[in-house]
């Protein structure tokens, strides 16, 4: 006799940053507790969630065009007598709110990042009342406490959100409006979650926050820990081998955090430290609160204690008013630093942010041309960095099998992807690898002694 359980199916599409990947996992877990299983086929989904990102160009437009396709799927399912609930989550949801359900009536629920723990309840309310719901307020209560405590672990690496929101108000950025003011989780909470993850086989934790190095979480005695304090707490967990953190602001690279890179062996020699531009005029217009020189000084301080550190950055070209001379200053800064990895974007106006209303918006063709020049330089730097690793033996933590199933994939301390041939029994282990070759985005080699 076969038993049949009518599990509800959820299809999730995640856009954007690691914060969204993390949030999608949390939503998946809250829904699993309510009887949902994930599906990769949108046609069989009783619930469709788009977890959106506002950072990329035309993000909102892409969401609306996805919603058009989802409406067709919903209509086809409806003809077959099946219901489909459609949810928009993430930063576009937070930024656009009711506008989404006005423009796309297919949407049943619009939910901001602060309310994910209430997702099962909100869906029930939608089904019971038939009313479309927009839930994008920033409630006082703390959302982390409500999420399902038992996180499923699929890999030896995991993200741990330690901080959310940002009070920096860079003039191009929606984060302070979509994610709200800075909030740090307590050390006790994070330690508990980290221990649980390590208990399930996690060996590397990446501490996440939009402004992660502004972390200031409560300690049991009522005082506050800085990020370096939290790192030294977490480093005491047996079985946890590696700690990373992202994304940092140059203004918050405090002496104690820099010192941690020298003193804490579990803290990996990699730092994502966005600079955005190399021109002081543009940095001021961006409200970045630092100059190019100050950024270079931070780099100098960190290289003094950790000469091998791999630095990565985010860059924006074509910010309003950017001249050729400003752009040259950006190129000069990139040449002066030498980045191991980078993410670069054409400036694109975000409604509601100060820069969107600035005069002197840069023509699209100029932005494209500058971005191409910058990316050529940054790609070259990444290749050089990877080439320097060839011939060395580096410890690699193996995370997963490659899609083609032939290789094991892991990461070096410098966050480089490393592929080797090997047995799946090695997943979750850190082994020395002799690096023999490099491609544009990854290294290859053999496990030392094999």
Please identify which residue in 288, 350, 367, 438 interacts with ligand 5AD, judged by CB under 6 A: 350
172 binds ligand 5AD (CB under 6 A): yes
Pairing state of beta strands 204-208 and 242-246?
parallel
> In the numeric block, which tokens belong to residue 434?
């002799």
Q: Burial of 151 by CB count in 10 Å (0-12 exposed, 13-18 middle, 19+ buried)?
A: middle
Which among ligand 5AD, ligand SF4, none contacts residue 166 (Cβ within 5 to 8 A by kind)? ligand SF4
With CA atoms as reference, report the closest residue to 177 among 210, 131, 141: 210
CA distance 63 to 59: 6
Please identify which residue in 176, 250, 269, 274 interacts with ligand 5AD, judged by CB under 6 A: 274
CA distance 86 to 89: 10
Between 282 and 447, whose beta carbon lies closer to ligand SF4? 282
CA distance 169 to 388: 38
User: Backbone dihedral region of 99: left (phi > 0), alpha (psi from -120 to 50 degrees) or beta?
Assistant: alpha
Angle at which helix 18-32 crosses helix 119-129, to 10 degrees, equals 60
Residues 60 and 71 sit within 8 Å (Cβ to Cβ): no
CA distance 162 to 147: 14
CA distance 179 to 53: 12
Return the residues of window 308-327 that contact ligand 5AD according to CB under 6 A: 314, 316
Between 56 and 102, whose beta carbon lies closer to ligand 5AD? 56
Return the residues of window 370-399 that contact ligand 5AD according to CB under 6 A: none
Vertex 52, ends 48 and 54: CA angle to 5°? Answer: 165
CA distance 357 to 364: 16
CA distance 277 to 287: 11
Between 168 and 297, whose beta carbon lies closer to ligand SF4? 168
In the complex, least distance from residue 94 CB atom to ligand 5AD, rounded to whole angstroms: 14
Between 342 and 412, whose beta carbon lies closer to ligand 5AD? 342
In the complex, least distance from residue 417 CB atom to ligand SF4, rounded to whole angstroms: 25
173 binds ligand 5AD (CB under 6 A): yes
287 binds ligand 5AD (CB under 6 A): no
Between 45 and 170, whose beta carbon lies closer to ligand SF4? 170
Three-state DSSP class for residue 278: coil
Between 73 and 173, whose beta carbon lies closer to ligand 5AD? 173
Binding mask 39-78 for ligand 5AD (x = CB under 6 A): ----------------x-----------------------
In the complex, least distance from residue 227 CB atom to ligand 5AD, rounded to whole angstroms: 18
**Footprint on this chain of ligand SF4 (rule: CB under 6 A):** 166, 168-170, 173, 175-176, 210-211, 249
With CA atoms as reference, report the closest residue to 70 among 13, 137, 151, 127: 13
Residues 162 and 217 sit within 8 Å (Cβ to Cβ): yes
In the complex, least distance from residue 238 CB atom to ligand 5AD, rounded to whole angstroms: 34
Which among ligand 5AD, ligand SF4, none contacts residue 345 (Cβ within 5 to 8 A by kind)? ligand 5AD
Stretch that binds ligand 5AD, among 34-42, 341-349, 388-396, 404-412 (CB under 6 A): 341-349
Which among ligand 5AD, ligand SF4, none contacts residue 210 (Cβ within 5 to 8 A by kind)? ligand SF4
CA 315 to chain centre: 16
CA distance 245 to 216: 14
Stretch that binds ligand 5AD, among 262-270, 289-297, 342-350, 388-396 (CB under 6 A): 342-350
Between 215 and 347, whose beta carbon lies closer to ligand 5AD? 347
In the complex, least distance from residue 137 CB atom to ligand 5AD, rounded to whole angstroms: 23
Residues that bind ligand 5AD (CB under 6 A): 55, 172-173, 274, 276, 314, 316, 345, 347-348, 350
């Amino acid at each position: 006799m076969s038993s049949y359980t009518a599990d509800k199916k959820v299809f999730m599409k995640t856009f954007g940053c690691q914060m969204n990947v993390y949030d999608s996992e949390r939503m998946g877990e809250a829904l699993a507790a309510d009887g949902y299983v994930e599906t990769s086929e949108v046609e069989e989904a009783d619930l469709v969630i788009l977890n959106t990102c506002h950072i990329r160009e035309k993000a909102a437009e892409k969401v609306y065009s996805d919603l058009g396709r989802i409406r067709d799927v919903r209509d086809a399912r409806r003809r077959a007598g099946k219901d489909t609930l459609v949810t928009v989550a993430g930063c576009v949801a937070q930024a656009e709110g009711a506008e989404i359900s006005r423009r796309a009536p297919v949407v049943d629920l619009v939910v901001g990042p602060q309310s994910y723990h209430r997702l099962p309840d909100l869906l029930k309310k939608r089904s019971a009342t038939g009313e479309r719901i927009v839930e994008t307020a920033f409630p006082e209560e703390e959302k982390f406490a409500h999420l399902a405590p038992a996180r499923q672990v699929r890999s030896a690496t995991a993200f741990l959100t330690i901080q959310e929101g940002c009070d920096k108000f860079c003039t191009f950025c929606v984060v302070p409006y979509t994610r709200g003011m800075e909030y740090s989780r307590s050390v006790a909470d994070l330690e508990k979650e980290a221990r649980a993850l390590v208990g399930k086989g996690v060996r590397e934790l990446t501490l996440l926050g939009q402004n992660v190095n502004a972390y200031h979480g409560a300690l049991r005695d009522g005082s506050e820990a800085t990020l370096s304090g939290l790192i030294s707490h977490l480093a005491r967990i047996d079985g946890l081998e590696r700690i990373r953190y992202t994304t940092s602001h140059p203004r918050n690279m405090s002496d104690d955090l820099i010192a941690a890179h020298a003193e804490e062996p579990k803290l990996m020699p990699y730092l994502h430290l966005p600079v955005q531009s190399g021109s002081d005029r543009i940095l001021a217009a961006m409200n970045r609160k630092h100059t190019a020189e100050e950024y270079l000084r931070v780099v100098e301080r960190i290289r003094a204690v950790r000469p091998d550190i791999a630095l990565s950055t985010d860059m924006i070209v074509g910010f309003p008013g950017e001249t050729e001379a400003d752009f040259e200053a950006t190129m000069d800064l990139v040449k002066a630093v030498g980045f191991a990895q980078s993410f670069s974007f054409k400036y694109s106006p975000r409604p509601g942010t100060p820069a969107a209303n600035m005069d002197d918006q840069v023509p699209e063709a100029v932005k494209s041309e500058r971005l191409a020049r910058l990316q050529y330089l940054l790609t070259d730097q990444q290749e050089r960095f990877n080439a320097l690793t060839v011939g060395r033996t580096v410890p690699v933590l193996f995370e997963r099998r490659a899609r083609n199933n032939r290789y094991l994939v892991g990461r070096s301390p410098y966050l480089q992807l490393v592929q080797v041939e090997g047995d799946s029994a090695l997943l979750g282990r850190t082994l020395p690898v002799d690096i023999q070759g490099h491609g544009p985005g990854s290294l290859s080699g053999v496990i030392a002694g094999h």
